[in-house]
Amino acid sequence: MKTKKQSLAVLLSAGIVATSISLPTSSYAATSNNVLSTEKYNEAIKSPEFISGQLTTPSSTKTEDVVFRYVDENKDKYKLGTKSAKESFTVKKQEDDTLGAKVIRLQQTYNGVPVWGSTQVAHVDNKGVLTVFSGTVIPDLDQKLQQPNQKISANEAVSLAEKELGFKPNYTVEPTSELVVYAKDDTVSYAYHVHLGFLSPQPGSHDYFVEAETGKILDHIEVLHAAKNPRNITGTVTTGTGKDSFGNTRSLNLLKSNNTYYLVDKTRGQGIYTYDAQNKGSEDDTSVLPGVLFNNSTNSFISKNAQAAVDAHTYAGKVYDYYKTVHGRDSYDGNGTKIVSTVHFGQQYENAFWDPELKQMVYGDGDGSTRSFTAAIDAVGHELTHAVTDSSSNLIYQNESGALNEAMSDVFGTLVEYYNNSNPDYLIGEDLFFQSGQALRSMSDPTKYGDPDHYSKRYTGTNQSQLVHTNSGIINKAAYLIAEGGTHYGVTVNGIGKDKMGKIFYRANTQYLTESATFSQARQAFVQSAADLYGTQSAEVTSVNKAFDAVGVK
C-alpha cells in the first residue's frame, strides 16, 4: 500500500532501463560558439554519456551523415564492434534548434531491433560541425547477444505479463508486444516489451519485459495510460465567469453551441477542452475518459460541482501561456495540440496524472483531506510538463531518468506558479491541502518532506514510485540554488534568478536530455545549455556547476 505522501505524489509520465552510476569527473574547456569541450563517461556502463566540443570538421553533407561519420570514426569509443553507425542507429526525429543548429534524435538498434531506452541526441551547427553527442550507447552488443532465440511468441509474452499482473484486466486498449533488446546492469537479452493499459478495477498501465527465450519477467515499470480521443465541437467563441476551489471569480473562455456553454477555449492553440468524468471510473465502466464536455445553460459556472472544472480550465490556459510566452512553445508538443483535462474522475480518487496514450490530464477529487487535484496551479503545471517531457526528452519513468522527469515537472510547476503570481513559493501542491503547512514536496528544503537534498542521501531501494519522487529532491534543490543562491554542504552558489534557471532547464529538457539520462548526464546538459544561452565563461555556467557540486552530482 502506498503511503499518503506516495499516493498524493504519483504525478506521472511514461517510463528505461537506467543503471545506477558512479560519478566520474569530467573536464571543461571553452571552444568557439559557446560550446564547452566536455567528455563524460557513464562509469557503470563504461560508455560516453555526454561529449561536446568541435567534434567534426565543417561539412556541407546531410546532417545525419555528419553524425554517422563521427560515430564511425569513434566506433572503439562506443564499442559498436563491426557494425556501422547506419546499422546501429535509426533517426527518430530531426528539428531546428532556436539557436541555429540542427538537432537529431537517434534510436540505437541491433540487427534492426531497437535497444529499449537507448536514445541519443546530436547537435550539428550551421557550419555542419557536430558539437554535442548526448546519451549513453549500450556497448559490446555483438559480444553479449546471439541471434534471437524466440521460443516465446509475442502473444505468449502478453499472457505471461498478465499472469505476473495477477488478473486479466478489462482493457481500454489492446495489449502490445514488441521485440526489443533489453539491457539492465550487466545483462543484455532479447525481450518482449509488453504494455498493458486499463481503467478498471482502477487506472493502471504496466510495461513488462519478458525474455524471448525463457519467458522470464526481466523487469516491470508501472505507468499510466488510457484510451480514446475527445470529440471536436463547433460553435461561437465567447466568454463567461466561474468560481474556483477557493471561491475566487475567474474569467473563462467558452464555446457556445445550441444555447449551451462549454468549457472550450479556442483562443489558445487548437483549444483547451475540459471534461467531466462524473465520478465514474469503476469496474463497471471502463470507457469514461474523456467524459462529458463540461457545460452549463448559462455562461456562469458557479456551482460547487463546477469548481474543479473552473480550476482545470483556467490553469491549463495559464500553463499554455507560460510555455508560449516564455519559451515560444505552442502547447505541450510545440505544435499547438489541444489540451484536454478530465475532472471528477473516480470516487474519492486522490491523484492526478498525465495520460500519454490518451494525451490528456485526469484529476481526482481527493479523499476529503485534500481538495480536488485541480486546486493547485503548480500541480496542473507539473502534470502538463510531463506532457512536454514526453514530447521532447521522453525521460523514462524509472531510476534516475524518472527522478529527473519528476524534478522537471516540479521545477516548471513552480515556475508556472510564479508566472501566475498568486502567492507563489517553492512548495509543491500546498494548495491541495485543507490543513495549512502541508505540501507534497519542497524545492528549497526537500528534507522538510522526507526527500534527499544531496546525492549521498539518495534513496537506493527498489520501490520505483518512491525512487522517482524521492530522488527528485536532489535536482529540485539544485534548481532552487541556481535560481536563488545559497550555501549548501559548504558550497556557495550565486543565484541567477528563476527566469534564467527556467530557460536553462527548458533547453536541457528539449535539446540535450535522452530517455535514460542519469543525474551525471543531466548536469552536463544543464551546463551546456547555460553555455549556449549565456556563454562558456558566464556567471550562469558557474552557478549551474556550483549548484550540482552542492548537491553532490559530479
Q: What are phi and psi of 456, to 5 degrees?
A: -70, -15
Catalytic residue among 123, 225, 386, 469: 469
Residue 469: active-site member: yes
Report the distance separating Cα 432 and Cα 378, nearest Å: 10
> In the 3-class helix/strand/coil scheme, how is 177-246 assigned residue by residue?
EEEEEEEECCEEEEEEEEEEEEEECCCEEEEEEEECCCCCEEEEEEECCCCCCCCCCCCEEEEEEEECCC
DSSP tag of 457: G
Q: Report the distance separating Cα 145 and Cα 148, nearest Å.
A: 8
Q: Considering only CA atoms, which of 244, 233, 222 is closest in space to residue 266? A: 233
Pairing mode, if any, of strands 36-42 and 102-110?
unpaired
Q: CA–CA distance from 101 to each of 92, 96, 193, 220 (Å)?
A: 17, 6, 34, 37
Residue 529: what residue type?
S
> What number of other Cβ atoms are within 10 A of residue 95's Cβ?
14
Check residue 33 and give left, alpha or beta (phi > 0: left; psi -120 to 50: alpha).
Answer: left
Active site residue 400: no
- Phi and psi, residue 239, nearest 5°: -130, 170
Return the sign of the alpha-carbon dihedral for residues 260, 266, 267, 268: positive
Angle, alpha carbons 524-529-532 (nearest 5°): 125
The catalytic position among 49, 211, 350, 383 is 383
In whole angstroms, what separates CA 485 from the centre of its chain? Answer: 26
Residue 478 one-letter amino acid: A
CB–CB of 203/190 below 8 Å? no
Angstrom distance (rounded) from CA 475 to CA 408 = 8
Using alpha carbons, list the distances in angstroms from residue 447 to 191, 388, 414, 471. Answer: 39, 27, 18, 11
Just list the catalytic residues. 383, 469
